[in-house]
Amino acid sequence: MKAPPRDEPGGSRPTIRLDKWLWQARFLRSRTMAAAFVQGGRLRVNGQVVDKPARAVAAGDVLTFALRGQVRVVRILDLGERRGPAAEAQGLYEDLAPPSLPADPSRDTPPALE
């Protein structure tokens, strides 16, 4: 799915700094950590690698990044106005990554001895 077209600068489409949104959505504990994460070039916005924490993002943008051993693909639904509780933060995005498969219980049991 394609991202909606970006408005020209000064347009009416509200945006927020990428590092601030990551912090408000509770992916990282502080804005400093969020800025360092983005500067490391480990994040994509709509498929393009981003390394500027001040990069403006808006509702509809898709972020792809690896965090805590898991690849996250999220669509921004709302920009938020504050860093609220976790339930509020989860309403800021839609998780697009497929659910991880449950562990195969048959692998945990040793083979039967005959």
- The strand ranges marked E within 16-98 are 16-17, 43-45, 48-50, 56-57, 62-67, 70-76, 93-95
Are β-strands 56-57 and 16-17 bridged in parallel, bridged antiparallel, or unpaired?
Answer: antiparallel
Return the domain boundaries, the chain: 15-95
CATH of 15-95, one of 3.30.530.20, 3.10.290.10, 3.40.50.2000, 1.20.1300.10: 3.10.290.10
pLDDT of the chain, 114 residues: tens digit per residue: 444 445 445 567 899 999 999 999 999 999 999 999 999 999 999 999 999 999 999 999 999 999 999 999 999 999 999 999 999 999 999 999 777 666 555 555 555 555
Considering the entire predicted model, what is its pTM? Answer: 0.77
